[in-house]
Amino acid sequence: MRIDRKKLLKSWPAFAAGALALVIFLVVFAERKLSSLVVGGLGVGFSTRMYSAPFAVDETTRQTPKLLLERLRRLRYAAKDRAGVPGEYRWSDPVLEIYLRGFASPVARQLPGSFRLTVKNGDQWSVESSSGSAAARVLIEPELVAELSGQEKVRRDPAIFEELPDDLKNAVVAVEDKRFFGHWGIDLRAMARSAWYDVTRRGVYGGSTITQQLAKNLFLTPRRTLRRKLMEAALSIYLELRYSKRGILTLYLNHIYLGQDGTVAVAGMKAAARFFFNKRLSELDLGECAMLAGLIRSPYLYNPLRFPDAATARRDFVLSRMKQERMIDTARMRAARRSPVVTRRAAPELGRDEFGYFTAEVVRRLVRRYPEDEIFRFGLSIHTTVDPLLQASAVRALRPARHQAALVAVDPASGRVLALVGGKDYAKSQFDRATQARRQPGSAFKPIVYGAALESGVTPATLLRDEPRKFPKSLRGNSGSWHPANYDGVYLGTVTVRVALARSLNGATLDLAQRVGMPKVVDFARRLGISSPLEDSLALALGASEVGLLELSTAYAPFVNGGFRVAPAFITAVSDAEGNVMEFSGAGRSPAIDPALAYLVTSLLESVFQEGTAKPVALAYKWDSPSAGKTGTTNDGRDAWFIGYTPRILVGVWAGEDSHKSVGATGAKDALPLWLAFMREEAPLTKEEFVPPQGGLVREKIDPLSGLRAGAGCPVRREEVFLAGTEPAEYCPLHARGVVGWFRRLFGLH
């Protein structure tokens, strides 16, 4: 056939233009895919991982050995006769020997090492290193509480090149692409050999390089067509030009599919190491590295959990290839072959029920600041405030609830949320009653009223009128009259402020609210952190305005932390797949009320346990730790509340029904027992007394009937605490009688 050179020359520009267009198309196509798939060379499609807070052990820690050992068991530390390697411990009362794995996060760091922890007084610890020198503290690593993979259901955990063991990298190169470091994306010899085997049908030989496999995984479908093969080759060359060999190998080992955990795909070597062996990459031995490399050919056939014999044979084949390529010597190969296949499947996925509500609230907060793709596919690490033991305790505490219930536990000093459960069963209902619901708090709002009154000059000894009263409904925007009553219908006449709050007397509280004025109450509530709409009426004093459980609970924090307002905090830091910090959240707080006033409110709320609405239940539960708090019950028993605290922890509980129907619930009967069930498990956190501030308070003996300073003839004398300058100057005139009393009153003798 004769070639027409003139036509060929004329068509050459068109051919060149077409080829150039194809190249441009491939480059643009690849760049667009890479821009959405690759971040800093690591790649995306990684699960975002959510971690608990680390747990510090030092001389201030209050934790029984039982609870501390439970923390280690949750982290899969192994009990041994000797703690010789990371992840092991030995407990011999009173000494805990532990070999910490170590960790690093944006908010804390702990080097691996061996330590000796000694318990004293049942729940306090001293710390020393294995060398015998005292250590200030140790940090037990955070617990993985959730993985977020969106709808793709792929679990990936990004690893940088330096994290990947040399044995693992060598094993993969040996068995998948032995000339990886010498070609430009295509191995012509391997392709020719593969084609020859395909034609002659003499076996199957893989001709794809690691780069080609990566190009297929990132950009193309698995269909075996000539067009796909050509695009795979072109994209492989492009990847070789675009990335270093280290970068390509890292991407490959982060993206490769390696198995299935139920409906979730396990992809990447880091996730596979945890899934099959419950190990970090750095903890893998040679045999385990070879086994993971062998999985690439067929994650199903060589799955060591399903087919250990086939997986062992494949491992041994990989080891022999490594020996052939002089990556290991004969001794190492034989030692690895002799080692048994020991799989330790990672713990069942956490956070699904136990951490469900907490995780969901963290995600709700994140989506306000980050695109969903970034949250679910970019391999973020989210460091949170949750304490796994407290979270587990909270879940258990709500199980006996007769109705629906919610619980929040907060560090009152910082506002960090230590535990949050928004309902009895996350699997059945994801509606979070701790953060998404607003309900009337009833008497649980009263401490805010009393705090505003104390700030205005009222004292714990001020006398109030506890009697039935009638108010016009116009106060609440209605016609007619309003008849608020005490819960049990019993009125005590004249009572002190302390008694009125301890026994939750509605009549006395309304008397107090009228004296103070509701604008001051609203202002006080806002300064404590209440942001929900508040009724501008006396009904607010009895908790008529709806608030959230977390909102009201953190509003109590200034009473225990010295007067500082705190905002609920769930997230301490967010970092990307390469460890770059995207967000860092320190504890934020601001002055809200005077420290002396804060202590005074706490003193009043201690009386709720000592002589008020919480006393019978606390006695029944044998609860004797220093505590302060307030019950709350709404009309017809629709909602029951208890918000209480110790110097270290603040806990709020709500119980009721989502339908707002009357269920006869009360704060003392339905919410307080749940609070006590939670607190009893964490008793070591509750054994401290409330400490008053250095100044601003005075103590005086008073007569509780008159509210004045007690005289010699007063049969009942009670020590009361006052803000400095508000203590009564007058003596009680009620109990000195006869001639002696006449002389005393005449000459002011007491």
* Across 574-589, average pLDDT: 85
Q: Tell me which residue of 119, 77, 126 sits closest to 98, measured CA to CA.
A: 77
Q: What is the pLDDT of residue 349?
A: 47
Q: How far are the Cα atoms of 165, 258, 647, 669 from residue 156, in angstroms, in the given order?
A: 17, 10, 41, 47
705: CB partners within 8 A, 6+ apart = 494, 716, 732, 734
Residue 227 pLDDT level (bands cut at 50, 70, 90): low
Q: What is the pLDDT of residues 357-388, one digit of tens each?
A: 999 899 889 888 887 667 766 778 999 999 99
Average pLDDT, the chain: 86
* Predicted confidence band of residue 736 (pLDDT cuts 50, 70, 90): low
User: In the predicted model, what is the mean pLDDT of residues 178-191?
Assistant: 73
- pLDDT tops 90 at residue 744: no
Phi, psi of 37 (to 5 degrees): -105, -20
What's the token pair of residue 502?
């301890």
Mean pLDDT value across residues 436-465: 97
Which runs of consecutive H residues, i.e. helices, occur in 328-387?
330-338, 356-366, 372-377
Confidence of residue 749 (pLDDT cuts 50, 70, 90): very low
**For residues 144 and 141, what is the distance between their CA atoms, to the nearest angstrom?**
10
Yes or no: say if 665 and 609 are a contact pair by the CB < 8 Å rule: no
Per-residue confidence band for 750, with pLDDT thresholds at 50, 70 and 90: very low
More confident residue, 343 or 562: 562
Mean of pLDDT values over 4-30: 61
Q: Residue 636 pLDDT more than 70? A: yes
pLDDT digits (tens, 9 = 90+) for 22-62: 666 656 665 655 554 454 445 555 678 899 999 999 998 88
Ramachandran class of 648: left when φ > 0, alpha when ψ lies in -120 to 50, beta otherwise: alpha
* Closest alpha carbon to 552 in 688, 717, 435: 435
- Bridge-based pairing state of the strands 48-51 and 381-384: parallel
State yes or no: pLDDT of 222 exceeds 70.
no
Q: What pLDDT is stored for residue 447 in this prediction?
A: 98
**Is residue 354 within 8 Å of 207, Cβ to Cβ?**
no
User: In the predicted model, what is the mean pLDDT of residues 395-414?
Assistant: 95
Whether the CB-CB separation of 467 and 569 falls below 8 Å is answered with no
The domains found in the chain, sorted by start residue, are 63-141 (3.30.2060.10), 148-338 (1.10.3810.10), 386-441+546-693 (3.40.710.10), 445-540 (3.40.710.10), 697-747 (no CATH)
pLDDT for 181? 83
What is 309-336 written as a DSSP string? HHHHHHHHHHHHHHHHTTSS-HHHHHHH
Among 243, 297, 293, 245, residue whose Cα is nearest residue 269: 293
Is residue 416 a contact partner of residue 631, using CB atoms and an 8 Å limit?
Answer: no
Tens digits of residue pLDDT in 165-178: 999 999 999 998 88
pLDDT in tens, 100-145: 999 999 999 999 999 999 999 888 999 998 877 888 899 999 999 9
pLDDT score at 184: 74
Average pLDDT over residues 647-676: 95
pLDDT at 187: 65
CB neighbours of 267 closer than 8 A, spacing ≥ 6? Answer: 45, 154, 155, 156, 254, 255, 256, 257, 258
Confidence check: pLDDT of 350 > 60: no
474 DSSP assignment: G
CA neighbor of 147 nearest in space, from 229, 270, 39? 270
Tokens coding 170? 């060598």
Q: What is the pLDDT, as a whole number, of residue 360?
A: 87
Please give the Cα distance from 134 to 131 (Å, whole number): 9
SS3 at position 260: strand
Residue 745 has pLDDT above 60, yes or no: no
- Amino acid identity, position 591: P
Q: From 196, 183, 133, 150, select the one nearest 46 (Cα to Cα).
A: 150
Return all residues near 385 (Cβ < 8 A) that are at least 6 apart: 53, 411, 416, 417, 418, 569, 570, 571, 572
Reported as half-sphere exposure (CB side, CA atoms, 13 A), residue 608 has a value of: 27
Owner of token pair 């007769």:
402
What's the pLDDT band for 734 if we cut at 50, 70, 90? confident
pLDDT at 214 (0 to 100): 80
User: What is the rounded average pLDDT of the residues 548-576?
Assistant: 96
The continuous run of DSSP H or E covering 16 comes out as helix 5-37
Burial class (CB in 10 A: 0-12, 13-18, 19+), 520: middle
Q: What is the per-residue pLDDT across 196-213, written as a single tens digit (0 to 9) for each? A: 555 555 544 456 888 888
d(CA 74, CA 541): 45
Give me the phi and psi of 229, to 5 degrees please: -65, -40
Determine what percent of the chain is predicted with pLDDT higher than 70: 83
pLDDT value at position 204? 43
- Closest alpha carbon to 531 in 620, 438, 593: 438
Q: pLDDT at residue 738 above 70?
A: no
Q: How far is CA 6 from CA 1, 12, 15, 258, 570, in A?
A: 15, 10, 14, 56, 75
pLDDT digit string, tens, across residues 259-310: 877 657 788 899 899 889 989 999 999 999 999 999 998 887 898 988 899 9
3-state secondary structure of 226: helix
pLDDT at 192: 58
The tokens for 16 are 């060149």
Confidence of residue 351 (pLDDT cuts 50, 70, 90): very low
Tens digits of residue pLDDT in 304-334? 988 899 999 999 999 999 999 999 999 999 9
